[in-house]
Amino acid sequence: MNKIDKQWYKCLKTLSKIPRDDNLDKFKTKNIKDIKNYMEGTTWDELHSLGHVTSNPNVKNIVMPSGLEQLRILEDMRRKDLTLIASVIAVLISLVSLAISIFL
């Protein structure tokens, strides 16, 4: 996952948990700094221009269905990255244990 994907993932994951009702107002008052990170800036502009998020107050959720699909794709990429890292670590541990058993 590259840097942009990580930013999109973090933003979409956080915004997908917030319904547009009284909870949004509570979230805004408690997390003013986080709101500026997620609902402003280049990441928000990119996601908004692609139609993944909306600022329309008549819509129930901030993240649109296309944004949820993008979030699923990003979660799958993240899972595959973690699986690859775990596999490499397992191979390295196996090689180290093989080397230790050969030399002892």
Read off the pLDDT band of 59 (50, 70, 90): confident
Question: Which of the 8 DSSP states describes residue 63?
Answer: B
pTM across the whole model: 0.77
Structure tokens at 10: 């973090």
Q: Is 53 helix (H, G, I), strand (E, B) or coil?
A: strand
User: What amino acid occupies position 100?
Assistant: I
Q: For residue 16, is pLDDT > 90?
A: no
Where in the chain are the domains? 3-103
Render pLDDT for 18-38 as a digit per residue (tens, 0 to 9): 766 666 666 666 666 666 677
Structure tokens at 30: 């408690």
Instruction: Note the pLDDT of residue 1.
Output: 81
Render pLDDT for 64-88 as a digit per residue (tens, 0 to 9): 999 999 999 999 999 999 999 999 9
Are the C-beta atoms of residues 8 and 88 closer than 8 Å to each other? Answer: no
Structure tokens at 52: 């993944």
Q: Which residue has the higher pLDDT, 40 or 100?
A: 100
Strands (E) located in the chain: none
